[in-house]
Amino acid sequence: MRVLVVGSGGREHALAWRLARSESVSEPFAAPGNSGTALVGTNLPVSDTDVDGIVAAAIAHDIGLVVIGPETPLAMGLSDRLAAAGITAFGPSRAAARLESSKSFARSVLDAAGVPGPDYRVFQSVSGALNYVDSHDRPVVVKADGLAAGKGVALCANREQAHIAIRACMEDRIFGDAGATVVVEDWLHGPEVSVFGFADGENLSAVTAATDYKRIGEGGTGPNTGGMGSYGPPHFWNDELAEQIRQEYMLPVIRELANRNAPYRGALYCGLMLTDAGPRVLEFNCRFGDPETQVVMPQLLSDPVDVMLACATGSLHDVAPVRWSQRPAVAVVMVSDGYPGPYQTGFPIAGLDDDQTDDVIVFHAGAQLADDGSNAVLTAGGRVLACVGLGDTVDEARNRAYRRIDGISFEGAYHRPDIATEAAVAMAGAQESAC
Ligand code: GLY
């Protein structure tokens, strides 16, 4: 079967890499892909938000399965358009993807499903939101309702910060219409975990988990990023917790969406905080996480094509149960100088030609082949690549990831030195909790 991965980040390289290892896959394509997806398949010059272009490319290349990586094309209805064209797609419909594209919708689904999250209120007026935080005696998190490229969440330690965040969202519209409505939630504390499973509209596979590190600096300091690293399974993860999250937090949401005639088919990502009062849902996303995918795809033991086709066709019960390896994996992200602020691109990346092994993998993200036919790889984004190590212990996995990073260089390269170290593991959550 020919498969097409939609997207161009590290998550999409990890998906294409895992699909390319499936015996069912004759040829993986990516649109638009990056220098990493070009190593495992063929890139097509179509933007991931060009819905018509993706549908046309899938038809032209006789694609049997389209795997949609990022949230934006899902929110635009790419899955629905592919289905209407008779092409099987892994990724929820636009209606089901509202779980991520509208935070207020997600909260209403969680309430109806009886799934616990932080106390919250939804506001469409600035004055309502400001009055609420003025009368509230706890720190809050202000969230733009719509998609804001991972930047629409402000942790507010006091009322002044909450006022600034509300006005920036609702008056200044720094996230455009995505900030016309805000959700104001209580700020919770505890370790944070990203939980992933495959859903077919009614059923949910076994789930797995990883944590990510969002702040740019060592010790969880500095601005938020798209993710500086990840490791999994987390030290607190066990079968009992996995089953609790699956049964009590994720399946009720799948059932509620089915009741609303929006069956959820695709990767389901539940972002939780493990508080003293029990797990609380911070967010649901309609896709795999980035950089968590770079950790969990090497741990997926089942055939991804079988599982993804079963999700798309509502038949998870007909395939073997999904199996995840518990072998620790650590991903360390290399970024461009200046990221998450302005940065330059176009620098050659040296050291990529070493052989990959089953225990050391480099996933490209903001990296592209030079267009002079030289096969040189150039930086093309803020998060440039992730070095992933697997091992019998987290220490072994981490050492492998960092050893690989030492062999790669480009101008201005930076990475956090403390991903999955004992100190960073102990603090995961409290300082890093910005969804
Ligand atoms: N790692 C966070 C996300 O993918 O949204």
pLDDT in tens, 319-370: 999 999 999 999 999 999 999 999 999 999 999 987 778 899 999 999 999 9
Mind listing the pLDDT tens digit for each residue in 309-325? 999 999 999 999 999 99
Instruction: State the sign of the Cα–Cα–Cα–Cα dihedral 14, 17, 21, 24.
Output: positive
Give me 223's structure tokens: 């601005």
Nearest-atom number in ligand 1 for the CA of 11 is: 4
Mind listing the pLDDT tens digit for each residue in 387-416? 999 999 999 999 999 999 999 999 999 999
Nearest to 255 by CA among 176, 199, 180, 308: 199
What percentage of residues in the chain have a pLDDT greater than 90? 82
CA of 135 to the centre of ligand 1 (A): 32
What is the pLDDT averaged over residues 83-87? 97
CA of 291 to the centre of ligand 1 (A): 7
CA of 14 to the centre of ligand 1 (A): 14
What is the pLDDT averaged over residues 223-234? 94
What is the pLDDT averaged over residues 216-233? 93
Q: Taking 60 as the threshold, does the pLDDT of residue 432 lie above it?
A: no
Residue ranges in 212-300 assigned as alpha helix (H): 239-244, 251-259, 292-296
Q: How far, rounded to the nearest angstrom, does the alpha carbon of residue 181 sit from its chain's CA centroid?
A: 23
What pLDDT was estimated at residue 434? 41
What pLDDT was estimated at residue 435? 34
State pTM to two decimals. 0.95
What pLDDT was estimated at residue 430? 44
Probe target for ligand 1 pocket from 74, 99, 225, 292, with the most ligand atoms within 8 Å of CB: 292
18: phi then psi, degrees, rounded to nearest 5: -70, -40
DSSP reduced 3-state for 114: coil
CA of 275 to the centre of ligand 1 (A): 20
What pLDDT was estimated at residue 353? 82
What pLDDT was estimated at residue 356? 79
Q: Taking 80 as the threshold, does the pLDDT of residue 171 lie above it?
A: yes
Mind listing the pLDDT tens digit for each residue in 247-263? 999 999 999 999 999 99
Report the C-alpha gap between 222 and 418 in whole angstroms: 14
What pLDDT was estimated at residue 423? 67
Closest residue by Cα to atom 2, ligand 1, is 289
Confidence class of residue 433 from pLDDT cuts 50, 70 and 90? very low
Closest residue by Cα to atom 3, ligand 1, is 289
Q: Does the N-terminal peptide bond of residue 32 adopt cis geometry, omega within 30 degrees of 0?
A: yes
Q: Taking 90 as the threshold, does the pLDDT of residue 431 lie above it?
A: no
Q: Taking 80 as the threshold, does the pLDDT of residue 422 lie above it?
A: no
As for ligand 1, residues whose beta carbon falls within 6 Å of it are 150, 212, 227, 285, 289-290, 292
What is the pLDDT averaged over residues 263-277? 96
Probe target for ligand 1 pocket from 282, 285, 294, with the most ligand atoms within 8 Å of CB: 285
Q: Are strands 329-335 and 278-285 parallel, antiparallel or unpaired?
A: unpaired
What is the pLDDT averaged over residues 220-238? 93
Q: Taking 70 as the threshold, does the pLDDT of residue 105 lie above it?
A: yes
Query: Are 70 and 266 a contacting pair, CB within 8 Å?
Result: no
Q: What is the DSSP string of 212-275?
A: EEEEEETTTEEEEEEEEEEEES-TT--HHHHHHIIIIIIHHHHHHHHHTT---EEEEEEEEEEE
Report the C-alpha gap between 178 and 174 in whole angstroms: 9
What is the pLDDT averaged over residues 14-18? 98
Query: Are 329 and 394 a contacting pair, CB within 8 Å?
Result: no
Rg (CA), the chain: 21
Nearest-atom number in ligand 1 for the CA of 285 is: 5
What pLDDT was estimated at residue 343? 97
What pLDDT was estimated at residue 76? 97
CA of 320 to the centre of ligand 1 (A): 28
Confidence class of residue 426 from pLDDT cuts 50, 70 and 90? low
CA of 225 to the centre of ligand 1 (A): 10
Nearest-atom number in ligand 1 for the CA of 227 is: 1
